[in-house]
Amino acid sequence: MSLRDDVAELFDALESVGNEHEELYDTDVREQLASTLNWHFVWGNLADKTPLRYGMFSAEADKAVADAVDRFLKAALANAEAEGVAKGQQRHDLLQDQSIKTETGGQSYDCFIGHSDTPPEGSPPAPDRLEVIAKGGGCSLALLVLLAAASSAFLLLSNLP
């Protein structure tokens, strides 16, 4: 598989996530995806700790995005070296190749990572994005609020004469 195929496969995987989770196309998620790909792929920084959180609305959706990014980095970093694609502008331009479109929806890079003329210097992902996602049985904010309300109601009722 070629590096162009790796990019196409990443965009196909992201489109699949976006079909189920529309927040994939939110600016915050796109910026976090772009930042991660810029740091690890464009500039070739070690990909041993990639983000697990991308601003998706659920842990399941964040995991789907993280898995797609991890698969891409594993294949693309090796292929970039093998194909002699230099770090920096060459890799940046490949990610933003307008001719690489998703198979089903015909979407290009801008839908997933936005656009920039030159690759930003980049910085490592924020530590809070590297936190482990709870695997199954995790509590959502709504559930925590509900539990807090139920506890408060129980305390109020138990103090009635």
Residue numbers of the domain that contains 72: 3-134
Q: At what angle do helices 59-83 and 3-20 cross, to 10 degrees?
A: 170
Is residue 141 assigned to a domain? no
Mean pLDDT computed over 54-83? 97
Instruction: Work out how many domains the chain is built from and give that number.
Output: 1
User: What's the pLDDT score for residue 161?
Assistant: 64
Mean pLDDT computed over 6-12? 98
User: What's the pLDDT score for residue 42?
Assistant: 97
Is residue 85 assigned to a domain? yes
Is residue 39 assigned to a domain? yes
Q: Residue 148: which residues within 8 A CB-CB, separation 6 or more?
A: none
Is residue 81 assigned to a domain? yes
Is residue 152 assigned to a domain? no
Is residue 72 assigned to a domain? yes
pTM, whole model, 2 decimals? Answer: 0.79
Is residue 99 assigned to a domain? yes
Contact 15, 102 (CB under 8 A): yes
Is residue 70 assigned to a domain? yes
